[in-house]
Structure 1
Amino acid sequence: MKVLATKKNKLIPRVGRLVTLNDEKIAIFMTSEGNIYALADYCPLTEGPILEGMVSGEYVYEPMRDYKISLVDGRIQEPDEGQIKTYPVILEEDKVYVEI
């Protein structure tokens, strides 16, 4: 199901934006290149949010322990392991939709 999450002009490159869709907290990130990604705002390793992590390229660095997480597929990079749920993003004009 496609749900309106935000507008593109409300996103700041490299800064996360929290939305709650169907009781799920989702962190939306826009890279410096303008690519938009949506991940569950929950790190299974720290049991904390990823929203305030630093974005570099197509990765976000989890704010508590600095785990490197792919914005593309949600995989926590070596030497650590884990996976964060990702959501497909659909951009229509200025509207950002998330498939949940």
Structure 2
Amino acid sequence: MFWLHIQLSARMFWSPASWFLKPWASTLFMECSMNMLRRLVTKKELKSIYGIPYSPAHIARLEKAGKFPIRINLGTCRVAWYADEVETWIASRPRAA
């Protein structure tokens, strides 16, 4: 759906059909479609799904220190993280013996 929108709007601005045959056009499509598939995790889901027991203030401290994935601001009072980055962070944590 997203690609169709880009394709239609591009035809309005770029008349030559050869624009879609450029080597970077397929890479752009793959990057856009891959970014659209990334799942977002909210603060509530960090605790309920992933079992991360930290408070929002501690998560912010870890982010600032570079020890936790960076949040994405969705609005003035709404943040989220990419699920794949959170899962990678969990996998990198040492396990109890």
Do these two structures clear the TM 0.5 threshold for a shared fold by scoring above it? no
Greater percentage in strand: 1
**Larger of the two Rg values belongs to structure:** 2
TM-score normalised by length of structure 1: 0.20
TM-score calculated relative to the size of structure 2 = 0.20
